Structures are given as C-alpha cells and as structure tokens.
Amino acid sequence: MACERLKGRKAIVTGAGSGIGAAVAARLRAEGAQVLTCDLKGEVDHLADVAAQGASADLVARAVVAMGGLDTLVPCAGISAFTPLEGHEDAYFERVFAVNVFAVFRLVRDAVPLLKAAGNGRIVTIGSTTSSFGDEGLAAYAASKHAVLGLTKAIAAELGPFGVTATCVQPGAIDTPMTAPAFTEMPEYKTFWENKASLRRLGEPQDIADVVAFLCSDDARFVTGHGLWVDGGAMARH
C-alpha cells in the first residue's frame, strides 16, 4: 500500500493472532506504523494472556523497548460464545469481562503517561453492535461490549485535553474464527445477519481494519468519544 499516513506511529494491537486483530495489525503496518502484536497464539510478537495480572504493564514496557515509545492502542482481544442465561456459570461471565473489559482498561491505564507525552495519542477499542441491542445467548458478551463503549467515552473525556482521542468501533456480524463456529452450527443465524445488513453480506476483518486505520490517523484528529457502527447497515434496519 503506497499510503503512509501512519508513518511514525507506534502501536500495540492485541488479539492480533487472527481475525480482526490480525487484519488491523497488517493494515497499520501497511500504512507505515510500527506495531507490537500480542495474542494467546498465532504469529505475533508476544504470546500472552492479556487478562493476566501484569500483562498490560509488561506489554507497554515491551513496546517502549521495541519501538522507542507508544502512541496508539488497538485492543482487539475478545471472546464470545452462545451461553443461555439458564445455567450460565459465573466463571464464564467473569472471564468474558476479564478479556473484553478489564484487559482494555489496564492497557490504557498503563499506557497513559506515554499517550499524554505523545500529544496525539490514539485509542481505538473494539465494541459491538450488541452494545445497542440485545441478542439471545450473548448476555456476557453484550454486557462486556456495552462496558467497552462506556469506558471509551470516559477515556476520551479524560485524555482529550492531552490530545488523545478514543473511539469505539462497533462491528456488526463479521466472518472471523470467533464467529465461524456459530455460523457453521446455525446456518440460519448467518443468513439472518446477511439479510439484515443493507449490503446483504457479512463483514470481513478488513472492513474493520480499514476504519481502524482511519481512526488512528491524523485524518481523524477531531473524532473522539463515541461509538461507530461498522455493520453494513444492519443497525439502520434494526
């Protein structure tokens, strides 16, 4: 890609072993950014559980050593599975929040001094359209993504005076390794989302990565503090 609008940026992307995270990391690098990637598995720079105590501080420290600084965060790590309320175990609910919410909070918290010092920091979180509507079997996931949206808005308000923007990308139904099992087991669910989208298709990881790259760039310097549906028009027809 000839465009280098992210040249000079130093980013951390979690959940970069596959799906949206992998696409985001590749896109940021293609636009000139340095990127430190992290995931539990896959071809990443650092293998780690982002929800583990101390993981975020370690990741920030590694970024400083590897890239000489840090000004961009894209925490993409996330988990989800269909789990009916009846029989829903506390441990699973807590694990979803540990990965989807607490890991995001800790990464941002531990990077705040560097983001402030950069003067033009960028934080792009990954929410979901389930922040705006419920879906059966996704109580933990929907609640966690609603929390991510609220957290992002609070971060934007607090760090805005230091030139840091924070925006939450809210994907619709995206064809990723995380969603593939549900679409395979329930073809009708896949068809539902394809038909619900105005564009009549599922999203691809690249659809999200392209938007994230924009939000990390100077082109989005006045965009902060809100969620952005990237769903092919699904919510417009909700």
Report the distance separating Cα 106 and Cα 101, nearest Å.
Answer: 9
Q: What is the DSSP string of 183-203?
A: HHH-HHHHHHHHHHSTTSS-B
Q: 178-201: per-residue pLDDT in tens?
A: 777 878 887 888 888 888 899 999
| pTM given for the model | 0.94
| CATH class of the domain comprising 10-230 | alpha beta
Average pLDDT taken over every residue of the chain: 93
Between CA 229 and CA 238, with CA 235 as vertex, the angle to 5 degrees is: 165
User: Is the pLDDT at 82 greater than 80, yes or no?
Assistant: no
Amino acid occupying residue 50 = V
Strands of 165-171's sheet, edge to edge?
46-47, 34-39, 10-14, 72-75, 122-126, 165-171, 227-230
Give residue-wise pLDDT tens across range 107-133: 999 999 999 999 999 999 999 998 887
Give phi and psi for 88, each to the nearest 5.
Answer: -65, 120
Q: Enumerate the domain spans of the chain.
A: 10-230
Query: Mapping DSSP to helix (H, G, I), strand (E, B) and coil, where does residue 237 land?
Result: helix
Closest to 234 (Cα-Cα) out of 133, 125, 105 = 133
Q: Is 238 helix (H, G, I), strand (E, B) or coil?
A: coil
Question: Which pair of tokens denotes residue 144?
Answer: 């966690």
- Percentage of the chain exceeding pLDDT 90: 79
DSSP-assigned letter for residue 232: T
Residues with a known catalytic role: 141
SS3 at position 43: coil
pLDDT for 1: 47
